[in-house]
């Protein structure tokens, strides 16, 4: 747990549970035509919403532990090595085939994701010891979808409540939640009783989070490249802050996760909501800048071949 007497001097430990994925990003040079060829830039990287938040927490000056399941294959070794290079402590269960996802990024920046979660769904409860020293527990809603991962996530949230560790849940995507529908999704979220809920504009509308706040949960509402706001459990807006301007058509993959990682580290340090939103925006902008720089390096390397 963090030092409540001097939170700014501490290094909070953000624990994240969910998917660690081999991500294949396909950025289209022009709109594609079904059944035909489409020029694209293809890259491969470590992905997964929960893993992204853990990496962002470290980049924001905190520490992080990732809890998840991977395969018994070379992909798993590469994914674990990527977490270690980022400074994240991996707590991994192994078996089967590692998860992968294809992310198609269209010229305007719109993304379509095609996940094959494979071993990621097989995570079983590692017990309360997995949260030892934790300052915060975070999970995307993806971690509630599929078993035994879903039950494991619920148990970890219960362990966190018992230990007095605050928790957060990201609504993830309307596409993922559509298997439950909005009312069942709300019920599942409320049952988990997270301290914070992250949701973008579409997710807020789908779950009716503005007009019907989840009991006991603070809402972090993200309006894309616009304003992010904090709403109390009663629905009152208590803070808001605009995001940094972004270039048109930028690949925004992982920006929301980076925002969450930065905000959680700030809150775990006892920062105000305004400062936490600023930290979230800074983390998202930093992530996008690093991603753009890596893309430019790959393009330059390709031209030299």
What is the per-residue pLDDT for 248? Answer: 59
Domain ranges of the chain: 8-20+48-98+118-304
**Residue 126: CB partners within 8 Å, gap ≥ 6?**
67, 91, 93, 152, 156
pLDDT bracket for residue 9 (50, 70, 90):
very low
CB atoms within 10 A of CB 9: 9
Q: Round to whole Å and give the CA distance between 189 and 185.
A: 6
What is the per-residue pLDDT for 294? Answer: 61
Q: Round to whole Å and give the CA distance between 104 and 89.
A: 29
Res. 3: pLDDT tops 60: no
The pLDDT tens digits of the residues spanning 191-243 come to 999 999 999 999 999 999 999 999 999 999 998 667 999 999 999 999 999 98
Helix (H, G, I), strand (E, B) or coil at 262: helix
**DSSP class of residue 36?**
S
Pairing mode of beta strands 237-242, 167-170 = unpaired
The pLDDT tens digits of the residues spanning 112-153 come to 889 999 999 999 999 999 999 999 999 999 999 999 999 999
Question: What mean pLDDT do residues 95-112 have?
Answer: 90
Per the listing, tokens 């902008």 go with 285
Look at 291 and 147; give whichever has higher pLDDT.
Answer: 147
- Average pLDDT of the chain is 90
Q: Could you tell me where the beta strands, DSSP code E, fall in the chain?
A: 13-17, 21-28, 40-47, 63-70, 89-94, 100-105, 111-116, 136-140, 167-170, 196-200, 218-222, 227-231, 237-242
What is the per-residue pLDDT for 5? Answer: 38
What is the per-residue pLDDT for 300? Answer: 53
Res. 47: pLDDT tops 60: yes
What is the per-residue pLDDT for 244? Answer: 82
Q: Round to whole Å and give the CA distance between 257 and 31.
A: 26
> 8-20+48-98+118-304, superfamily in CATH?
Ribokinase (3.40.1190.20)
């Amino acid at each position: 747990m963090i030092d409540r007497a001097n939170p700014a001097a501490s290094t909070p430990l953000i624990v994240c549970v969910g998917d660690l994925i081999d991500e294949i990003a396909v950025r289209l040079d022009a709109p594609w035509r079904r059944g035909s060829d489409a020029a694209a830039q293809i890259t491969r990287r470590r992905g997964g919403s929960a893993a992204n938040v853990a990496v962002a927490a470290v980049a924001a000056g905190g520490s992080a532990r990732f809890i998840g399941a991977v395969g018994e294959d070379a992909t798993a070794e590469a994914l674990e090595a990527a977490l270690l290079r980022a400074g994240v402590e991996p707590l991994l269960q192994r078996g089967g085939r590692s998860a992968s996802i294809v992310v198609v990024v269209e010229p305007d920046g719109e993304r379509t994701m095609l996940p094959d979660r494979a071993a990621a769904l097989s995570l079983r409860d590692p017990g309360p010891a997995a949260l030892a020293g934790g300052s915060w527990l975070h999970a995307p809603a993806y971690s509630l979808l599929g078993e035994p991962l879903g039950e494991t996530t619920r148990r970890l949230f219960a362990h966190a409540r018992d230990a007095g560790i605050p928790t957060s849940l990201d609504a993830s995507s309307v596409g993922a939640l559509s298997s439950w529908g909005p009312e069942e999704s709300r019920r599942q979220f409320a049952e988990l009783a997270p301290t914070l809920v992250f949701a973008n504009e579409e997710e807020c509308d789908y779950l009716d989070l503005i007009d019907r706040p989840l009991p006991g949960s603070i809402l972090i509402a993200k309006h894309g490249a616009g304003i992010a706001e904090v709403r109390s459990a009663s629905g009152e807006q208590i803070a808001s802050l605009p995001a940094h301007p972004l270039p048109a058509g930028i690949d925004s993959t992982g920006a929301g996760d980076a925002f969450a990682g930065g905000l959680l580290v700030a809150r775990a340090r006892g920062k105000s909501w305004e400062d936490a939103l600023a930290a979230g925006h800074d983390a998202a902008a930093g992530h996008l800048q690093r991603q753009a720089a890596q893309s430019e390096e790959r393009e330059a390397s390709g031209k030299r071949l």
